[in-house]
Amino acid sequence: MDNSNKNTDIEIIPKSSEASDAKADEVECCKAILMKANQLQYQLNKLSSKIDGLQLVDQSGFIEESLQNFTRDLDNQVASIKAIQNMQAEEFEQKLLEKDRMRLELLDALNKQEQSHLQETESLKKQLEASDKRCLELEHQVESHKSTIEHNTICSICFDQWNSSTEHRLVSLGCGHLFGDNCIRDCLRRVPECPQCRARADQGQIRYIYGRPL
């Protein structure tokens, strides 16, 4: 039994030694695994930080790209606004030129109209002067005729001198006014009154005048 026990012990010891070795191995292995794990963790951390760095780089690249896009968009917008402004400025300038042209045309037309009015006024003034002159002449003639008529030397109807034998011989009406015979007869046929004083008259009033010097 002892032997058997011893044997068993002997068997056990190595067994135990094996177990101890195995445990040590296991510990070593665990240590190694731990170390490896630590190394891996370290590498992982490094990688992670690298990835972070890369991401940061990527983000900065993205930001840069975004900025570039934004700047490009902004440039495009500025260019577009400038183009619109230029177009508007050009349109405004065109309108200004057009208005200026119209203003000049209007001024020219006004000047021409003014010139024409001045010429017309000048012409009218001359006509007025001429007609004033003519009026004056006529007034003189009328005055002259009046004085002639007042002195009873001519017929007040035809302004011709009367005579003593022809159809224009000297006659008088009831009012005493003198005319050429045929002239007063024509007048009375149209209007039955004296052409000088408007007194009612007819052909029965006509009298030949003999005593007046002709």
Stretch that binds Zn ion, among 29-37, 92-100, 103-111, 168-176 (CB under 5 A): 168-176
- Compare residues 149 and 194 and give the one whose CB is closer to Zn ion: 194
Stretch that binds Zn ion, among 2-10, 24-32, 137-145, 199-207 (CB under 5 A): 199-207
Rounded Cα distance between 159 and 144, Å, is 11
Q: Which residue has the tokens 């030397």?
A: 153
- Going by the DSSP 8-state scheme, the letter that residue 154 receives in this structure is S
Q: Does 197 bind Zn ion (CB under 5 A)?
A: yes
Stretch that binds Zn ion, among 19-27, 54-62, 126-134, 148-156 (CB under 5 A): 148-156
Rounded Cα distance between 206 and 20, Å, is 191
The single residue among 157, 187, 206, 209 that binds Zn ion, judged by CB under 5 A, is 157
Strands lying side by side in the sheet with 170-172: 178-180, 170-172, 207-208
- Compare residues 101 and 200 and give the one whose CB is closer to Zn ion: 200
Show the CA angle centred on residue 145, arms to residues 144 and 150, nearest 5°: 100
Rounded Cα distance between 91 and 114, Å, is 34
Stretch that binds Zn ion, among 69-77, 128-136, 181-189, 203-211 (CB under 5 A): 181-189
Stretch that binds Zn ion, among 58-66, 109-117, 130-138, 195-203 (CB under 5 A): 195-203
Q: Does 205 bind Zn ion (CB under 5 A)?
A: no
Alpha-helical segments (H) within the chain = 2-150, 181-190
Rounded Cα distance between 213 and 164, Å, is 9
- Compare residues 188 and 194 and give the one whose CB is closer to Zn ion: 194
- Compare residues 67 and 191 and give the one whose CB is closer to Zn ion: 191
- Compare residues 139 and 186 and give the one whose CB is closer to Zn ion: 186
The single residue among 155, 171, 178, 188 that binds Zn ion, judged by CB under 5 A, is 155
- Going by the DSSP 8-state scheme, the letter that residue 162 receives in this structure is P
Q: Which residue has the tokens 């006529």?
A: 138
Nearest to 179 by CA among 198, 153, 200: 153
- Compare residues 157 and 206 and give the one whose CB is closer to Zn ion: 157
Residues that bind Zn ion (CB under 5 A): 155, 157-158, 175, 177, 180, 183, 194, 196-197, 199
